[in-house]
Amino acid sequence: MSLYYVQKFLYELNRDPRLQAAYQADRRETLAAYDLDDTEVEALVAPDIGLLYVLGVNGQILMHFAALHQIPWADYLQLMREGVAEHGPVRAGVYAMVGY
């Protein structure tokens, strides 16, 4: 897993209108420039907010990605809860669930 590169991509995506346009035009081609594994690519293509959260993506970065996909705030929060229910505890990052 390459949490750093997922977050780097999302950080750049959240701030760069040209990258947003490229991502919207061809998600897979845009993601090819980043060192991501297959799970990360699929989560970013979908977009799978819950899985990205469980993988460890920072919620403040992830909320902008959700907004880009026009996911309302309440749905964003629910998708994170569903991600934990489906994929297990947060695996990495500042929200990692330890002692479970």
48, exposed or middle or buried, with CB in 10 Å at 0-12, 13-18, 19+?
Answer: buried
- Residue 52's nearest CA partner among 18, 9, 15, 98 is 9
pLDDT (0 to 100) of residue 1: 60
CATH 3.80.10 fits 3-87, yes or no: no
pLDDT (0 to 100) of residue 94: 75
pLDDT digits (tens, 9 = 90+) for 62-84: 999 999 999 999 999 999 999 99
pLDDT digits (tens, 9 = 90+) for 5-58: 999 999 999 999 999 999 999 999 999 999 999 999 999 999 999 999 999 999
pLDDT (0 to 100) of residue 93: 80
DSSP 57: -
Length in residues, the chain: 100
